[in-house]
Amino acid sequence: MDEPNAVPVIGLEIHAQVLTRSKAFCGCSTAVADAPNAHTCPVCLGHPGALPVLNAAVLRAAVLLGRALGSDIHPRSAFARKHYFYPDLPKGYQITQHREPVCTGGTMAFVGSDGTEHDIRLERIHMEEDAARLLHRGDASLADYNRAGIPLLEIVTTPAFTSAADAAAFMRELRRVLVYCGICDGSMERGSLRCDANVSLRRTDGSPGTRTEIKNMNSFRAVERALNWEIARQRALLKGGKAVASATLLWDEDAGEARIMRGKESSADYHYMPEPDLPPAVVTQEHIDAADASIPELPLARQRRFLEKYALPALDAEVLTAERSIADYFEDVVRHLTAARTDSDAGAVETGMRTVPAKFASNWIMGEVLRGMREAGLSSPPVEAARLAELLRCIGDGTVSGSAAKRVLAAMAESNNAPEEIIDRLGLRLLRDDDTLRAQVREVLNAHPKQCAAFYAGKEKLLGFFVGQVMQRSGGSADPKRAAILLREALSRHGDEDANASSPSGKGES
């Protein structure tokens, strides 16, 4: 049947590695990157008779995420065994939650590809353990059980997405929420955040199509590419009069295509059964209260607040709230800037300090600070918020030029000294003595009569040339903004005199 207008229906299953010190059901360390098999014990190796015990931190994380997203938290939830045979699973089953997950329902808002906010309903959030990692070397396959038993939260959405771009946008937002809540480090690269998706095409008559599952998407970009690829594949099948077969596909990012791994298992294939070695997980009122007390302002709400409270452009609000630590840093800098403003700052507006310190701070953080962090591979800003605020004040009150301040910032990152100290050490203090500056302005104008005449004739761009000349004459110590103001003053006076002098004599322009 030809269904060119069939609407994609996408649901996501996201696995987030919970930031805990020990594994989900044993005391082994979660340092998965250590030497292979450094962190194993009879429980996570699946030795017969070894008894799992739930790590309370995993339950706390599940309750926190559930409360943050408005899920129903169940006082009792049960663990189940999901059976399959594979070398990454020594027990022959994975401990997960099946019929009685810890959280059901809930909603998460995200900004879709159309630029508006959408609410996506969640099916559930449940706790489970990760499998081991297999490394394939030539003919040999090696197993690293450091990852076996690592705690995961699985977040399952309703099949509510109609485009690959929206699914990827949701993933980005969920990543922010998980990182803001301190539940997961959010690294898709390292595998601490993973995404599987169900895809089908709803027929134009509204009837559902056959679902396929696509796995192994290791970046947000991969999520979008893989889903678009699968949507196109299903469309082509339907268009050619063929049926979509239920299947699991493995995305190959390098090849830009997926390969069909196996016919998709149904729930029955896993022979789920209750886990007899674990009692139900019990959530008490204390759990709920503790979670509520530690829910941070969620990233999208914070982004909205940045737009309103600080009147920032949309891009600034998005970039600054991408990481919670940067959003905190920005607000700290603004707090220091506003707290430190006094009457002596009245002139600051004139010399360049924005009337809105927030945008000024945002420019510096989005530019120099984030760039510096990227280049040095840092996870936090190279200078304290209070120090950056001091430097911004130095720019605002004309102590240092914006371009010289970049050098000051780099030096501050190394020494953590006060900006004023560094400005003096590097000889970057701007000349703000108006009498000296006026004298230099006069010298410059007198030395360039031709350019003055051209300026009066309308070539206002020459102001930049004059500023450059003043800077040169002052050995780079003049405040360019102040120089520009004094130049304009001098030129207008000069122009009046010139006009008065020239009209009676009838002298034309030369």
Q: Is 26 in the site for Zn ion (CB under 5 A)?
A: yes
Contact 417, 387 (CB under 8 A): no
Instruction: Name the strand (E) or helix (H) holding 126.
Output: strand 117-129
Q: Phi/psi at 23 (nearest 5 deg)? A: -70, 175
Decide whether 12 or 44 has the Cβ nearer to Zn ion. 44
Cα gap 412→418, rounded to integer Å: 7
Partners of residue 202 on adjacent β-strands? 7
CA nearest 109: which of 121, 97, 124?
A: 121
Quote the CA–CA distance of 54 and 27 in Å, as a whole number: 10
Residue with Cβ nearer Zn ion (12 or 132): 132
Instruction: Compute how many other C-beta atoms are within 10 angstroms of the C-beta atom of residue 220.
Output: 18
Nearer to Zn ion among residue 28 and residue 183 (C-beta): 28
Interacting stretch for Zn ion, rule CB under 5 A, among 11-19, 42-50, 390-398, 416-424?
42-50
Stretch that binds Zn ion, among 23-31, 121-129, 245-253, 265-273 (CB under 5 A): 23-31
Distance CA 92, CA 106 (A): 32
Which of 7, 22, 38, 41 contacts Zn ion by CB under 5 A? 41
Among 10, 19, 32, 44, binds Zn ion (CB under 5 A): 44
**How many residues appear in the chain?**
510
The end-to-end CA distance of the chain, in Å, is 82
Residue 394, token pair as written in the block: 């130095």
Single-letter code of the amino acid located at 302: R
Q: Which is nearer to Zn ion, 23 or 194 (CB)?
A: 23
Whole-number minimum distance, CB 22 to Zn ion, in Å?
A: 8
| Candidate list 9, 10, 28, 326; residue touching Zn ion; CB under 5 A | 28
Residue 58 binding Zn ion, by CB under 5 A: no
Residue 50 touching Zn ion (CB under 5 A): no
CB of 37 to Zn ion, least distance (A): 11
**Residue 38 engages Zn ion in binding (rule: CB under 5 A):** no
Q: With respect to Zn ion, which residue has the nearer C-beta, 47 or 459? A: 47
Pick between residue 3 and residue 88 the one whose CB is nearest to Zn ion.
88
Q: Which helix (H) or strand (E) holds 317?
A: helix 314-320
DSSP 18: -
Q: Kindly state the smallest distance separating residue 81's Cβ from Zn ion, in Å.
A: 17
Compute the distance between CA of residue 76 and CA of residue 80 in angstroms, rounded to an integer. Answer: 13
Binding mask 128-167 for Zn ion (x = CB under 5 A): ----------------------------------------
Least separation, in Å, of the C-beta of 352 and Zn ion? 60
Site residues (vs Zn ion, CB under 5 A): 26, 28, 41, 43-44
